[in-house]
Chains A and B, each alone.
Chain A
Amino acid sequence: MDGIYLDNNATTRVDDAVVAAMLPFFTEQFGNPSSMHSFGNKVGLAIKKARMQVQELLGAEHESEIIFTSCGTESDSTAILSALKANPERKQIITTTIEHPAVLALCSHLEKEGYKTHFLKVDNKGRLDLDEYARLLTDQVAVVSVMWANNETGSLFPVEKMAEMASAVGIPFHTDAVQAVGKVPIDLKNSKIDMLSLSGHKLHAPKGVGVLYLKRGVRFRPLLRGGHQERGRRAGTENSASIVGLGLACEQAMKHMHYENTEVMRLRDKLEAGILAKVPRAFATGDVDNRLPNTSNIAFEFIEGEAILLLLNKFGIAASSGSACTSGSLEPSHVMRAMGIPYTAAHGTIRFSLSRYSTEAEVDRVIQVVPEIIAQLRKMSPYWGENGPAEEPDKAFAPVYA
């Protein structure tokens, strides 16, 4: 086995068929789709096909609702900033405490420019309080931006319902669906979602391509001006090879949707149950009954995530962690803190995210390796005694400074 990749929420392997479909667009199909000649025309047709493939996966009513961008982050920024510019008299934004930094950092930055952002809190399973949300929906709000699925825990938010609530009072609704697209069925034509962001590299398409879905009729102000591409809504020469790749990846995701929600989910459940059965003082975080089929986030108490990752890596296993040290910041993941996960566990959270390429043998191997790694690190931890946590860890280890 050459490495077990369980970090598919970070990025995915590009599907072989997707690579093959892209290759001609670097060489013989190099034309600019805007050109009049036949070099450009064929590329234009290929992009049109890709647009329809994306439309199909999202269940969008019109293909013109699909705007190709460079990434999920660009789509998020475009959506939120457009809503603000289109509604200049409204100075409030509603989002959640556990968004991806693409939304969170933008909203925090906008606070410096005079906007008020309401960050909806979550409970210990990462669930929102819809009554709190309802109270905040006033005519002062320019946009609501809520993620469909959380990248760390996989927990799903009721975005369709939240979009209806926003729509009822005339507030545009955006969802960052980067983790959800391709893993959960989406039917935008029958929803009140106005804008949706997706990212190619999360669903076996290449990095550097994304989509902003913009419901027909929603007031829009472009982020990039300077050309007629994407009907003037996103200027800049099309990344044609990647767009073609994303189109095919969406078609493939549609085909594998059932597999993702049965077989991938079974493997994920087996992995999680297998680890929790063997490792004491460990638990799954998030809304475990309502989450993406591929994601499991496990907190291991009294040890630190980066150390776990380094040892996993030694065994060829790739995962990720919400620990402070992996990011270079001093605080553990904002998602774990928002859910009130105690520090004893937040630093030791590990996210395993599977894909349709994950195998039973890989899962078995991880179940075998993880307990040894955890035991090895706990042996080194001052918070861990012979066979369990030190009695009252805070007292057993009370350093001079805290």
Chain B
Amino acid sequence: MWDYSDKVKEHFFSPRNSGAMDDANAVGDVGSLNCGDALRLMLKVDPETETIQDARFQTFGCGSAIASSSALTEIIKGMSLDEALKVSNQDIADYLDGLPPEKMHCSVMGREALQAAVANYRGEEWKDDHEEGALICKCFAIDAVLIEETVRANKLSTVEDVINYTKAGGGCSSCHEGIEEILVKVMAERGESFNPHAVVAKPEEEKPAKMNNLQRIKRIETILDSIRPQLQRDHGDIELVDVDGKTIYVNMIGACSGCQMEAQTLQGIQTKLMEDLGEFVKVVPSRAGSYARAASHV
């Protein structure tokens, strides 16, 4: 049985706003019977103010698909269309106190239905821009299609590359066989063969001589900057709060804050810092209790 949060269960057993809406003026349909997931989002939008007065849904899908649909309708009621468009799938997941990684696509479907409904209201055409594959990395919820496309686009050739570009495989490492299989396949397309012993091309950096405090902190900032784009892609961010000896205090911001993957993300950041600094450090969220909350989701 999935480890669903109480909130997910509650929204599944007593869904809000389910059923057809006769006077909807914005309808978004996503998914299909084949996928096993389909959602119709119906909105009643005030033409004067573009405010969402009412929202209802019909969903064919699993428990978390129904709960995500229910959460979505609750979140967007009363919002303007522009505000609603800013709702991310992470917002839906957060509203439900998190979703298992295998189920994050249910929240993505909710956000897409919303985009489709707004496009429908505005007479625009909405196109889905992503395809989903089998889930490879369960720690960071990364599927085969994303990994394959990234490997192809960036001509990646090692598991380490894949971790750096997609985060997939950067957690428990159980999925490395699956990642290698993708590398074998994609590299064959470009006439190469995968070499598991290939050394990651890392510019030989001189071990920094003992840095003073300011140099060390600047260095930590630079490393965090290099990680930032990955976090921002998931609508999150990180800031450095303090450095106290071996302990580095950070703030997780936006979607990263309270994300069920927070503990693992911090772990990854810590590993990266240790590699680059060449010393043992501990990364700790400065916000009290945030670790405990993150841990309860994992």
Interface residues of A (CB under 8 A from B): 302-307, 310-311, 313-314, 323-326, 328-330, 332, 343-344, 347, 379-383, 393-394, 397-402
Q: Give 8 nearest A-B pairs by CB, closest first.
A: A325-B62, A401-B128, A306-B62, A399-B29, A382-B58, A328-B102, A382-B40, A402-B32
Measured CB to CB, the closest approach of chain A to B59, in angstroms, equals 6
> Which one of B32, B60, B127 contacts A381 once the chains associate, using CB atoms below 8 Å?
B60
Asked whether any CB of chain A lies closer than 8 Å to the CB of B35, the reply is yes
Complex contacts, A383 vs chain B, CB 8 Å: 33, 38, 60
> Which one of A310, A379, A397, A401 contacts B63 once the chains associate, using CB atoms below 8 Å?
A310
Asked whether any CB of chain A lies closer than 8 Å to the CB of B201, the reply is no
Measured CB to CB, the closest approach of chain B to A120, in angstroms, equals 25
Measured CB to CB, the closest approach of chain A to B34, in angstroms, equals 5
Is the beta-carbon distance between A304 and B61 smaller than 8 angstroms?
A: yes
A307–B9 CA distance with the chains assembled, in angstroms: 11
Is the beta-carbon distance between B18 and A380 smaller than 8 angstroms?
A: yes
A332–B127 CA distance with the chains assembled, in angstroms: 25
Measured CB to CB, the closest approach of chain B to A171, in angstroms, equals 30
For residue B69, which residue of chain A has the nearest CB? A380
A323–B60 CA distance with the chains assembled, in angstroms: 12
**15 extra interface residue pairs, beta carbon distance < 8 Å, beyond A304-B61, A383-B38, A402-B35:** A314-B13, A323-B36, A325-B36, A325-B64, A325-B65, A329-B135, A379-B18, A380-B58, A381-B58, A382-B29, A383-B33, A398-B29, A400-B30, A401-B127, A402-B34
Complex contacts, B135 vs chain A, CB 8 Å: 328-329
For residue B135, which residue of chain A has the nearest CB? A328
Is the beta-carbon distance between A307 and B66 smaller than 8 angstroms?
A: yes
Complex contacts, B29 vs chain A, CB 8 Å: 382, 397-400
A326–B100 CA distance with the chains assembled, in angstroms: 12
Indicate the member of A304, A314, A399 with the most B CB atoms within 10 Å: A399
Is the beta-carbon distance between A380 and B38 smaller than 8 angstroms?
A: no
Indicate the member of B62, B102, B127 with the most A CB atoms within 10 Å: B62
> Which one of B1, B15, B127 contacts A313 once the chains associate, using CB atoms below 8 Å?
B1
Measured CB to CB, the closest approach of chain A to B289, in angstroms, equals 30
Complex contacts, B134 vs chain A, CB 8 Å: 329-330
A397–B31 CA distance with the chains assembled, in angstroms: 10
Measured CB to CB, the closest approach of chain A to B248, in angstroms, equals 35
Asked whether any CB of chain A lies closer than 8 Å to the CB of B39, the reply is yes
Complex contacts, B13 vs chain A, CB 8 Å: 310-311, 314
Complex contacts, B39 vs chain A, CB 8 Å: 382
Query: Would you call the interface of chain B mostly helix, strand, loop, or mixed?
Result: mixed
A379–B36 CA distance with the chains assembled, in angstroms: 17
Q: List 20 A-B contacts (CB under 8 A).
A: A303-B60, A304-B62, A306-B62, A307-B12, A307-B66, A310-B9, A325-B61, A325-B63, A329-B134, A330-B132, A347-B60, A379-B18, A380-B58, A380-B66, A382-B29, A383-B60, A397-B38, A397-B40, A400-B128, A401-B127
Q: Kindly supply a per-residue 1/0 record for chain B positions 23-62, scoring 1 wherever the CB is within 8 Å of any chain A CB and 0 otherwise.
A: 0000001111111111110000000000000000011111
Is the beta-carbon distance between B59 and A347 smaller than 8 angstroms?
A: no
Asked whether any CB of chain A lies closer than 8 Å to the CB of B116, the reply is yes
Asked whether any CB of chain A lies closer than 8 Å to the CB of B126, the reply is yes
A325–B102 CA distance with the chains assembled, in angstroms: 9
Is the beta-carbon distance between A399 and B132 smaller than 8 angstroms?
A: no
Is the beta-carbon distance between B59 and A379 smaller than 8 angstroms?
A: no
Asked whether any CB of chain A lies closer than 8 Å to the CB of B19, the reply is yes
Asked whether any CB of chain A lies closer than 8 Å to the CB of B196, the reply is no
A88–B37 CA distance with the chains assembled, in angstroms: 46
Complex contacts, B229 vs chain A, CB 8 Å: none
Is the beta-carbon distance between B59 and A381 smaller than 8 angstroms?
A: yes
Complex contacts, A394 vs chain B, CB 8 Å: 33
Complex contacts, A314 vs chain B, CB 8 Å: 13
Indicate the member of A394, A398, A401 with the most B CB atoms within 10 Å: A401
Given contacts A380-B66, A400-B116, A401-B128, contact A344 B33 (CB under 8 A): yes
Complex contacts, B64 vs chain A, CB 8 Å: 325
Interface residues of B in 96-128 (CB under 8 A from A): 102-103, 112, 116, 126-128
Is the beta-carbon distance between B32 and A304 smaller than 8 angstroms?
A: no
A381–B116 CA distance with the chains assembled, in angstroms: 18
Is the beta-carbon distance between A400 and B59 smaller than 8 angstroms?
A: no
A280–B259 CA distance with the chains assembled, in angstroms: 42
Measured CB to CB, the closest approach of chain A to B187, in angstroms, equals 15
Complex contacts, B102 vs chain A, CB 8 Å: 328
For residue B59, which residue of chain A has the nearest CB? A380
Is the beta-carbon distance between B32 and A330 smaller than 8 angstroms?
A: no
Indicate the member of A311, A332, A382 with the most B CB atoms within 10 Å: A382
A235–B116 CA distance with the chains assembled, in angstroms: 60
Complex contacts, B62 vs chain A, CB 8 Å: 304-307, 323, 325-326
Measured CB to CB, the closest approach of chain A to B75, in angstroms, equals 19
For residue A346, which residue of chain B has the nearest CB? B36
Measured CB to CB, the closest approach of chain B to A369, in angstroms, equals 14
A343–B29 CA distance with the chains assembled, in angstroms: 18
Measured CB to CB, the closest approach of chain B to A48, in angstroms, equals 40
For residue A327, which residue of chain B has the nearest CB? B102
Measured CB to CB, the closest approach of chain B to A129, in angstroms, equals 26
Measured CB to CB, the closest approach of chain A to B65, in angstroms, equals 7
Given contacts A325-B61, A380-B19, contact A399 B36 (CB under 8 A): no
Complex contacts, B18 vs chain A, CB 8 Å: 379-380
Measured CB to CB, the closest approach of chain A to B245, in angstroms, equals 42
> Which one of B9, B36, B60, B128 contacts A330 once the chains associate, using CB atoms below 8 Å?
B36
Is the beta-carbon distance between A400 and B33 smaller than 8 angstroms?
A: no
Measured CB to CB, the closest approach of chain B to A70, in angstroms, equals 21
Complex contacts, A305 vs chain B, CB 8 Å: 62
Is the beta-carbon distance between A401 and B58 smaller than 8 angstroms?
A: no
Is the beta-carbon distance between A399 and B60 smaller than 8 angstroms?
A: no
Is the beta-carbon distance between A399 and B59 smaller than 8 angstroms?
A: no
Measured CB to CB, the closest approach of chain B to A371, in angstroms, equals 18
Given contacts A399-B31, A400-B29, A401-B128, contact A307 B61 (CB under 8 A): yes
Complex contacts, A382 vs chain B, CB 8 Å: 29, 38-40, 58-60
A84–B102 CA distance with the chains assembled, in angstroms: 36
A330–B62 CA distance with the chains assembled, in angstroms: 12
For residue B129, which residue of chain A has the nearest CB? A401
A159–B13 CA distance with the chains assembled, in angstroms: 44
Measured CB to CB, the closest approach of chain B to A339, in angstroms, equals 16
Is the beta-carbon distance between A400 and B60 smaller than 8 angstroms?
A: no
Is the beta-carbon distance between A399 and B38 smaller than 8 angstroms?
A: yes
Complex contacts, A398 vs chain B, CB 8 Å: 29
